[in-house]
């Protein structure tokens, strides 16, 4: 835990130093938006320790969510290039399609809440993406070492994602593992 705390504190100190020099990361949020969210979400009323831990994990989740969306986009791009606009019907198993369509139908009933997106790929589970690649391996072979390699990366990151999504806290080792897996994927597949 000390290593994780030290890692995060170094990051925060670096962020403060960069803000004072007017250097802004392409991934940074404006302070105004952050303050609006803090006010809207009543974070000041919640236990400070829980909020700080959640903020630490939010940074990790940002990387996981961006990676997951990158993989989804990769799958769609490869299938559209090789099969065309009907890729969903032609390349995705009926079981995955039915599950995704069912989720979308359930979300369509709740009109007052934002939905996951317009594309059915957004309603698949992260692990389903490896199954889609497996069922269409010829299209993905030039990019991934093997489906098992892709499945291992996705399942490892998904395990960490699930811990965070259920209010858990990852160890520094888990965070490092996520980064290694993301770097390996990008080095192999590209962005």
Residue 67 pLDDT > 90: yes
Q: Report the distance separating Cα 93 and Cα 126, nearest Å.
A: 15
pLDDT of residue 6: 61
For the ranges 28-32, 79-83, 116-120, which has the lowest average pLDDT? 28-32
Tell me how many degrees the CA angle 190-71-86 measures, rounded to the nearest 5.
110
pLDDT at 130: 97
Domain ranges of the chain: 1-45, 49-189
Distance CA 158, CA 35 (A): 30
The 3-state DSSP class for residue 108 equals helix
What is the Cα–Cα distance from 145 to 151, expressed in whole angstroms?
Answer: 11
Q: What is the pLDDT of residue 14?
A: 59
Compute the mean pLDDT over every residue in the chain, rounded to the nearest whole number.
87
Task: Output the pTM of the full model.
Answer: 0.78
| pLDDT score of 52 | 87
Residue 175, pLDDT above cutoff 80:
yes
> What span, in angstroms and rounded, lies between the C-alpha atoms of 107 and 20?
44
């Amino acid at each position: 835990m000390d290593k994780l705390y030290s890692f995060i504190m170094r990051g925060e100190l670096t962020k403060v130093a960069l803000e004072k020099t007017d250097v802004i990361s392409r991934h940074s949020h404006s302070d105004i938006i952050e303050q609006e969210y803090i006010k809207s979400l009543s974070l000041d009323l919640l236990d400070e320790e829980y909020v700080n831990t959640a903020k630490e994990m939010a940074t990790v989740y940002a990387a996981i969510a961006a990676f997951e969306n990158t993989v989804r986009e990769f799958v769609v791009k490869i299938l559209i290039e090789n099969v065309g606009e009907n890729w969903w019907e032609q390349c995705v198993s009926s079981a995955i399609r039915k599950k995704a369509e069912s989720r979308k139908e359930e979300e369509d009933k709740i009109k007052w809440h934002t939905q996951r997106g317009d594309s059915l790929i957004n309603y698949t589970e992260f692990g389903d993406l490896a199954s889609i690649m497996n069922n269409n391996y010829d299209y993905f072979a030039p990019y991934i070492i093997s489906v098992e390699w892709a499945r291992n990366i996705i399942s490892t990151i998904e395990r960490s994602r699930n811990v965070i999504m259920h209010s858990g806290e990852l160890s520094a080792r888990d965070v490092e593992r996520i980064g290694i897996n993301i770097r390996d994927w990008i080095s192999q597949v590209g962005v």
